Structure 1
């Protein structure tokens, strides 16, 4: 699996990220830096709910995964205008946006495939990556993904009593993770684009973790044809 993110700035500068993923596991295939920066150490602003074994993981896998992107946007400010082109095997998407929104979209792809235990649940969404997804699209994709996951779990004999509560719990863990990853990055960068990109992702996490009956009823209305007697 391959996804290319091209950032073209009005001052003539550009950044290209040619992202490769294992087609089966969806692990992000990247060359780890020989001397990873100190902010990627697992012990540096370690998430309080991290489940990784410190004796086996010197560095945070998520921090390592996004460190290249963070370094290349080290001096870029959040609101700077940029043309982002996202190319996959199926299509190419163009959007004139801000640095923080373009980077947020790319991080939303990288983080599930990084090896972090709290983001791995989103790998099915990463496989069908939707750049610059809206709040409504995120809610629909999250609910659809988890209900399909519930079906596969049921066929394996695993039963979830309250699937919506389980999904909210996953997003709550991601909220906590976003906070501590942002702290890591803030200790490293000069400008704010990387931190604010995480803030945008965190807003989506909060939307799902606080899903209300109103949100559910909105989605339910789209399936009315299946509910007709």
Structure 2
């Protein structure tokens, strides 16, 4: 089944429904009939893009997000919306700014794209979590990456338990995000799409520039570092 994003605009009650593919499903095609000029591969092509513009005319990620950009191009990011995300297993609902809803949607669409770099995010799309916080993004990114290393180990391949590859991947993703932002900038009259991409960029940069400090902040959530004897003394005023 596909994943449905339903945007209900609080100000006037209008709705906009967008369907996209879950990671394990056949891709839901929303490829535009008339691709925009900014979808050409040579237009603000990523500096780390491995695709050959003499063989491929259009950027795969740009083609995928063009319908979304066109749907929301005139709307400011602070527009209040009720966003419902409907998957085959559960539903999510949140009243928020348009920017946050679009960040989740565009992140899912780009992770499912045929871009050789973005496709590394496909396992994240498999466990898609709308409206994820930065902490949740870190946990899911690291957890997904480590699971991949476990499979590598079982297949007798080199496993990266130090997360060096995860940091490198997110540096690559930042270059992609910057180029996609430049593409979308030429198509937008409002700022919702741009803010969505910027917030997605911020999540990626938190992995590439400050992963260690982010993980230190989360350590207490995963390890019980309390001393049970001292805790007993504090609670009872006496030694056990």
Tell whether the structures are fold-level matches, with TM greater than 0.5: yes
Partner of 1:116, secondary structure, is coil
Alignment of 1:16-35 (within 5 A): 16-21=17-22, 23=24, 28-35=27-34
CA distance in 2, matches of 1:106, 1:193: 12
Structure 1 pair 168/88, CA: closer, same or farther in 2 (3 Å)? same
The answer to whether the 8 Å contact 1:5/1:18 transfers is yes
**Per-residue deviation at 1:219?**
3.6
**Ranges in structure 1 where 5+ consecutive residues have no aligned partner:** none
Cα distance per residue 1:58-100 (max 9 Å; x no partner): 1000000111100000111111111101011111111111111
Structure 1 pair 163/2, CA: closer, same or farther in 2 (3 Å)? farther
Partner of 2:8, secondary structure, is strand
Residue in structure 2 matched with residue 6 of structure 1 by the alignment? 6
Residue in structure 2 matched with residue 111 of structure 1 by the alignment? 110
Cα distance per residue 1:112-148 (max 9 Å; x no partner): 1011111111111101110000111011001100000
* Higher Cα Rg, which structure: 2
* TM-score normalised to structure 2 length: 0.87
RMSD (CA atoms): 2.0
- Runs (4 or more) in structure 1 with deviation over 6 Å come to none
Partner of 1:141, secondary structure, is helix
* TM-score normalised to structure 1 length: 0.91
Residue in structure 2 matched with residue 54 of structure 1 by the alignment? 53
Alignment of 1:61-210 (within 5 A): 61-161=60-160, 163-210=162-209
The answer to whether the 8 Å contact 2:22/2:125 transfers is no
**Ranges in structure 2 where 5+ consecutive residues have no aligned partner:** 225-240
Residue in structure 1 matched with residue 227 of structure 2 by the alignment? none
Paired residues, number: 225
